[in-house]
Structure 1
Amino acid sequence: MRASFTAPLWQWEARTESWWFVTVPADVSDDLADLPLPPRGFGSVRVRVTVGSTTWQTSVFPSDRESAYVLPMKKAVRTKESLEAGEPVAVTLETVDL
């Protein structure tokens, strides 16, 4: 599965020093939830992500609060791509098999 979307960068208020996310849109989250995946911690799905010129592998996690999957945005990516809170982030997300 491959999807591209744009969503704002937001900070998780419980851990403001380091936890930043982009919420995966509802239609893409629904597609992720429908995938037959092996059991993983917290219902996570392994993905390859591209933001700007940066590509990395991580996992997206279902969020009850967001009613969607959320994509963690590590500091190295935020710094390299000059991402700021509330700004839209263009994301390409692709599931990976392990």
Structure 2
Amino acid sequence: MTYSNKKYNAIAEGKLKLDKRFCRKCLTEGFSDKEYYKTISNYISNIPEELKTPEDIYAARLESCSKCQYLMNGLCRLCGCFVEIRAASIKNYCPNKIPYW
């Protein structure tokens, strides 16, 4: 029996748990750019006004994110969020150890 077979058997027998990660980017897989931005826009437009980040602060947050090493394809690699959505809610903050915003 090879190592991978032992591992598979351990998983099948419930002796080894796998970390099943949720991929948010996969939710938009197959979306055109237009569909992707429409989905993000719809989500943001449904945030109650009292919880929305003011436009100037939102723009500053996105500017900070655009310079961050952890930004990849619109997602934060630290927390897995869509940065446009995270920045849109006033109560949210940058997940970096030393937050950018």
Same fold (TM over 0.5): no
Give the TM-score, by structure 1 length.
0.25
* Bigger-Rg structure (1/2): 2
Give the TM-score, by structure 2 length.
0.24
